[in-house]
Chain A
Amino acid sequence: MPSHRMPSEADIISTVEFNHTGELLATGDKGGRVVIFQREPESKNAPHSQGEYDVYSTFQSHEPEFDYLKSLEIEEKINKIKWLPQHNAAHSLLSTNDKTIKLWKITERDKRPEGYNLKDEEGKLKDLSTVTSLQVPVLKPMDLMVEVSPRRVFANGHTYHINSISVNSDCETYMSADDLRINLWHLAVTDRSFNIVDIKPANMEDLTEVITASEFHPHHCNLFVYSSSKGSLRLCDMRAAALCDKHSKLFEEPEDPSNRSFFSEIISSVSDVKFSHSGRYMLTRDYLTVKVWDLNMEARPIETYQVHDYLRSKLCSLYENDCIFDKFECAWNGSDSVIMTGAYNNFFRMFDRNTKRDVTLEASRESSKPRAVLKPRRVCVGGKRRRDDISVDSLDFTKKILHTAWHPAENIIAIAATNNLYIFQDKVNSEMH
C-alpha cells in the first residue's frame, strides 16, 4: 500500500476517528487539541489519484483543570472523539477528556456579503451624505474559513475517568462510560444524564472489576455492550430496565488452564470493543489477541487472532515496566472482512477473516517513504532468522500503536504512532499477504 505521511503533531495523539463518510478524520492529542483532516476531492486529471488528507481545522477542545475538592489535576488529554451523523452542512463531533464531554460544531464559511449600504468595506459606518443610492448586498466568494464552536458542555457526570463515548443510532442520545458507571445523555441536555450501568460496589474494598470500554449497537438503539477488566462483555438492553446492571447477554471465554499464570487476568482485560458494521459481530482486543464474537454465541469467540504471542513469555517484564497495562484499540474495515490492531515497535497487524492471512506492517518514517509500498515485517522468536526480521528483544516498547482507525468504506487507514499520524491508502485492491 502506498503511504502518505502527515506532518508530525506536537503532542502525542490519543485518539483517531473517521467521520461517517470518511471525508473527515479527527485526531485528539494529549494537549487537549483536536485536529481535523479533510480528504481532498479526487482530481479529474488523475482519476487514479485518490484524494489525500490535509489539515482542515485545529482547535483547543479541552484545557487542563484542577479539581479543588480532591486536589487533583484533570488532564486535558482527549480520550475519545466521536462524530455525530451529519444532518446539514455543519459537522458535529463529541470530544471528551477524563471528566467532561463537549459537543463541537464545525461550519464552513466560504462567502461573505459585500456592498452594505451603511458600512464600507472595512466595516466603518459610512457618511450618510455620501450615500446616493441603495444597493442589495451580494455574497461574494472568499477563502474558506472553518469555524469551530462549542455547542454543549456535558460536565459533572462522572466521578471516575471517562474511557469511552458512543453515539446512539437514534442520533439523539449518546452514552459515556467511566471505570464504574455508564451514563446516557441527550445531546440537547447538558445538566442531567441518566445512569444506566453502575458496577461500583457498596464497599470499595470489594472492587475487583472495572468497565474498560463500551459502545452502542450500530442499528438497535436499545442495545449496547460494555467490556470489563476481567475479559467479559455484557450486552445490555435498555428496554429491559432503567438501570442495566443486569445484562441481557454475558460473553466470556473460559480460561485456558494450561496457560494460567498470575498475569492471566491482566492480559484478559478487554481494552477495546467494536461492533461490526453489520451489527452481527463484536471485535474485542485484549493484551495478546483480538477476538471476534458472534452476538448469538456467548460461550466463546468465533475467531481468535494472535497479535503478538511472542510476548507471552515476557509478561513479567512487561508487568514490571507497565506495558502490560497498555490499551490497544482495534478496528473493522468497511466490509467487516479485515480487522486491524496496533502493537509495539510501531507495528500494526491486519487479519483477513476470510483468507485467514495476516500481515505485520510498520508505521515509521525510516521504513516507508511517501508513495512507497509498505513492506511486511516479521518478528522472529528464535529458530531461523531471515534478513530484516526483528528479534523479540529488539522490539521498542516505547513505540506503541494504540490508536488506529479504518475508513468506513474504502481501504484507507489512519495510524497514530506516538505523535505522528500515518495515513495509508490502498491504491490498488491488493490482496493481503
Chain B
Amino acid sequence: MNCGESARPGSPWFGGHPDGERAQCPCLAPPTAWDPQSCLLQFLYGQPVVWRLLCSDPGLNPAWPACPLTSGGFEQNAMTREELMGLNSAGPSGWLWSRRSCVIPAAFFTQNCVGMMFARGLKRKSAEEPEDVEGCSAGAQAMPSYSLQRQSLLDMSLVKLQLCHMLVEPNLCRSVLIANTVRQIQEEMTRDGTWRAVAPQAAGRAPLDRLVATDILCRSVREQEGECPAPDMGDGQPDLVPGLAVAPAAQAPRSPQSSLWEGDSSRESRGGFQKSLDQIFETLESKTSGSVEELFADVDSSYYDLDAVLTGMVGSTSSGPGSGLQAFASAATSPPSSSCRSDLGELDHAVEILVET
C-alpha cells in the first residue's frame, strides 16, 4: 500500500473495522523516528500479539493525526502469519495503526516483534506441514520460525532476569543460568549475522538447535511518558538491544542504567547488552534499597493492562472485535506516569502471568 492510498479489504492494513470503513493512509512523510513506546496489538489466530517499536528520533512528536480507524484502540487484524512476516517487504510507505493513534511503518514490525503468543496446540492455518512438536503452532517456514522462537526465548529470558531482579531474594543460580542462556543466544545471533538484521529466509542453517515453541508471553505494553531515551536506529536496522529497551525506562536521575540503553550502533548495543547483564549481577550482589526502588519505578500499570487484555481476550475469542479492544483501550487510556511506583500486587499479576503454564 502506498502512501495516500486507501486500504482495501483483504490487504494487511484493513482491519475489519466494525463500521466497515476503509483504512485511510494519511500522507505523511515516512518517519525516520517515532514514538519509542508505541505498540500495536495484533491478533493472530485470535491471540494478542504485542509489537513494540523503536524510536530512532527522540524528538518525534507522537501526536500523529488521528485516523478514524484507530479511535478507541486497535483493530482486529486478519493477517496470516506469513503476511505478518512478510510485512518487512511491504515497503516503508505502508502504515499500520498504533494504539496511540499514530501510524507506524509496517516495515518495522517484523524486525521488532518482541513476542508472540501461541495458543496451546493451535494448528497453523498454512498448508505446510507443521513441525512435530508438542503444543507448538510452528511458524510458516522452519527458518523464520526458529529465529522467532529464538527471539521469543531471548525476550522471555530477559523478562525473567528482570523479574528476579525485582524479587526480594534473587536466586543466584537461576539468574546465572538464565544469563548464560541469554549470552548463548546473543552469540549465536552474532554468528548468524542476525544480530543486526532480520534473519534471512534462506534455508541451509545446518545445526538447528531444537527449540520448542511454546506459550511465550510478550513484553507488557509500555506507556511512554516522553522521557525515555530512544536508541538511535541510525541505519534503520534495529538490533536486539533496543529490544531490551522496554525494560527499565531510563530516567535522568538513574544514569548508570540509562546509559545502558543508549546504544547507537549495534556494536555499542552489544556492549550495552553486556552491560545489562553486568547491571543485573551488580544489583544482585549489592542490592540497595535505592536500586530496588528504581526497579520498581519501572513497573507501571501496563502490566495490569496486559492482564486486563488477556482476561478480556482469552475468555471471549468469539466475541466481536470491538469488545475486547474496548477493554484494552479503556485500560490504556489512563496511563500512569512512569515515575509512579506500581503496587506489588500488579507485579504479582505479572509474575503470575509469566510463569503460568
Q: Does B180 reach chain A (CB closer than 8 Å)?
A: yes
Contact indicator B172/A316 (Cβ below 8 Å) = no
Q: Does B142 reach chain A (CB closer than 8 Å)?
A: no
CA distance A75 to B170 in the complex (A): 12
Q: Does B127 reach chain A (CB closer than 8 Å)?
A: no
Q: Does A431 reach chain B (CB closer than 8 Å)?
A: no
CB-defined contacts of A393 to chain B, threshold 8 Å: 134-135
Contact indicator A212/B173 (Cβ below 8 Å) = yes
Contact indicator B281/A72 (Cβ below 8 Å) = no
Contact indicator B207/A260 (Cβ below 8 Å) = yes
Q: Mark A64-80, 1 if CB is under 8 A from B, else 0.
A: 00000011111100000
CA distance A392 to B134 in the complex (A): 10
CA distance A239 to B185 in the complex (A): 42
CA distance A321 to B285 in the complex (A): 25
Q: A266-B181, A321-B355 are in contact. Are A208 and B176 (CB under 8 A)?
A: yes
CB-defined contacts of B134 to chain A, threshold 8 Å: 313-314, 392-393
Which stretch from B9-17, B252-260, B287-295 is at the chain A interface?
Answer: B287-295
Min distance, Cβ B326 to any Cβ of chain A, angstroms: 30
Min distance, Cβ B136 to any Cβ of chain A, angstroms: 9
CA distance A263 to B157 in the complex (A): 12
CB-defined contacts of B41 to chain A, threshold 8 Å: none
Min distance, Cβ B5 to any Cβ of chain A, angstroms: 41
* Chain A residue nearest in CB terms to B287: A70
CA distance A319 to B150 in the complex (A): 13
CA distance A316 to B286 in the complex (A): 31
Q: Does B282 reach chain A (CB closer than 8 Å)?
A: yes
Q: A72-B168, A179-B172, A320-B357 are in contact. Are A205 and B281 (CB under 8 A)?
A: yes
CB-defined contacts of A263 to chain B, threshold 8 Å: 181
Size bracket, chain B contacts:
35 or more
Q: Does A27 reach chain B (CB closer than 8 Å)?
A: no
Q: Mark B122-146, 1 if CB is under 8 A from A, else 0.
A: 0000000000011100000000000
Min distance, Cβ B206 to any Cβ of chain A, angstroms: 12
Q: Does A397 reach chain B (CB closer than 8 Å)?
A: yes
Number of interface residues of A (CB under 8 A): 41
Q: Mark A244-267, 1 if CB is under 8 A from B, else 0.
A: 000000000000000011110110
Min distance, Cβ A326 to any Cβ of chain B, angstroms: 10
Q: Does B210 reach chain A (CB closer than 8 Å)?
A: yes
Q: Mark B218-246, 1 if CB is under 8 A from A, else 0.
A: 00000000000000000000000000000
Q: A262-B184, A316-B212, A320-B216 are in contact. Are A205 and B277 (CB under 8 A)?
A: yes
Q: Which of B151-182 contact A (CB under 8 A)?
A: 153, 156, 160, 168-169, 171-174, 176-177, 179-181
CB-defined contacts of A106 to chain B, threshold 8 Å: none
Q: A73-B169, A261-B209 are in contact. Are A320 and B133 (CB under 8 A)?
A: no
CB-defined contacts of A207 to chain B, threshold 8 Å: 176, 281
* Chain A residue nearest in CB terms to B121: A393
Contact indicator A317/B357 (Cβ below 8 Å) = yes
Q: Does A322 reach chain B (CB closer than 8 Å)?
A: yes
CA distance A397 to B215 in the complex (A): 16
Contact indicator A269/B173 (Cβ below 8 Å) = yes
Q: Does A161 reach chain B (CB closer than 8 Å)?
A: yes
CB-defined contacts of A229 to chain B, threshold 8 Å: 173, 176-177
CB-defined contacts of A321 to chain B, threshold 8 Å: 355-357
Q: Mark A220-250, 1 if CB is under 8 A from B, else 0.
A: 0000000001000000000000000000000
CA distance A314 to B156 in the complex (A): 16
Q: Does A315 reach chain B (CB closer than 8 Å)?
A: yes
Q: Does B266 reach chain A (CB closer than 8 Å)?
A: no
Min distance, Cβ A380 to any Cβ of chain B, angstroms: 13
Q: Which of B285-323 contact A (CB under 8 A)?
A: 285-289, 292
Contact indicator A265/B180 (Cβ below 8 Å) = yes
Contact indicator B212/A260 (Cβ below 8 Å) = no
CB-defined contacts of A59 to chain B, threshold 8 Å: none
Q: Mark B40-62, 1 if CB is under 8 A from A, else 0.
A: 00000000000000000000000
Q: Does B211 reach chain A (CB closer than 8 Å)?
A: yes
* Chain A residue nearest in CB terms to B160: A322
Q: Does A209 reach chain B (CB closer than 8 Å)?
A: yes
Contact indicator B169/A261 (Cβ below 8 Å) = no
Min distance, Cβ B135 to any Cβ of chain A, angstroms: 7
CB-defined contacts of B135 to chain A, threshold 8 Å: 317, 393
Contact indicator A316/B213 (Cβ below 8 Å) = yes
CA distance A393 to B357 in the complex (A): 12
Contact indicator B181/A210 (Cβ below 8 Å) = no
CA distance A209 to B168 in the complex (A): 22
CB-defined contacts of A194 to chain B, threshold 8 Å: none
CA distance A182 to B211 in the complex (A): 36
CB-defined contacts of A209 to chain B, threshold 8 Å: 176
Contact indicator A71/B289 (Cβ below 8 Å) = yes
* Chain B residue nearest in CB terms to A398: B357
CB-defined contacts of B179 to chain A, threshold 8 Å: 208
CB-defined contacts of B287 to chain A, threshold 8 Å: 70-72
Which of A163, A212, A265, A320 makes the CB contact (< 8 A) with B181? Answer: A265
* Chain A residue nearest in CB terms to B182: A262
CA distance A414 to B278 in the complex (A): 42
Q: Does B214 reach chain A (CB closer than 8 Å)?
A: yes
Min distance, Cβ A265 to any Cβ of chain B, angstroms: 6
Contact indicator A204/B357 (Cβ below 8 Å) = no
CA distance A161 to B285 in the complex (A): 12
Q: Mark B171-206, 1 if CB is under 8 A from A, else 0.
A: 111101101110111000000000000000000000
Contact indicator A161/B209 (Cβ below 8 Å) = no
Q: Mark B314-343, 1 if CB is under 8 A from A, else 0.
A: 000000000000000000000000000000
CB-defined contacts of A322 to chain B, threshold 8 Å: 160, 174, 355
Contact indicator B173/A210 (Cβ below 8 Å) = yes
Contact indicator A316/B153 (Cβ below 8 Å) = yes
Min distance, Cβ B251 to any Cβ of chain A, angstroms: 21
CA distance A325 to B214 in the complex (A): 17
CB-defined contacts of A71 to chain B, threshold 8 Å: 287-289, 292
CA distance A160 to B286 in the complex (A): 11
Q: Mark A310-347, 1 if CB is under 8 A from B, else 0.
A: 00011111011110010000000000000000000000
Question: Could you list 5 examples of A-B contacts with CB < 8 Å?
Answer: A204-B284, A261-B211, A269-B173, A320-B216, A393-B135
**7 shortest interchain CB distances as A-B pairs:** A205-B278, A316-B212, A204-B281, A179-B172, A71-B289, A317-B214, A321-B357
Report which B residues bind A (CB closer than 8 A).
Answer: 133-135, 149-150, 153, 156, 160, 168-169, 171-174, 176-177, 179-181, 183-185, 207, 209-216, 274, 277-278, 281-282, 284-289, 292, 354-357
Report which A residues bind B (CB closer than 8 A).
Answer: 70-75, 98, 160-161, 163, 179-180, 203-205, 207-210, 212, 229, 260-263, 265-266, 269, 313-317, 319-322, 325, 392-393, 397
9 extra A-B contacts, CB within 8 A, seeds A71-B287, A320-B215:
A70-B286, A73-B168, A262-B211, A314-B212, A316-B149, A320-B214, A320-B354, A320-B357, A322-B355
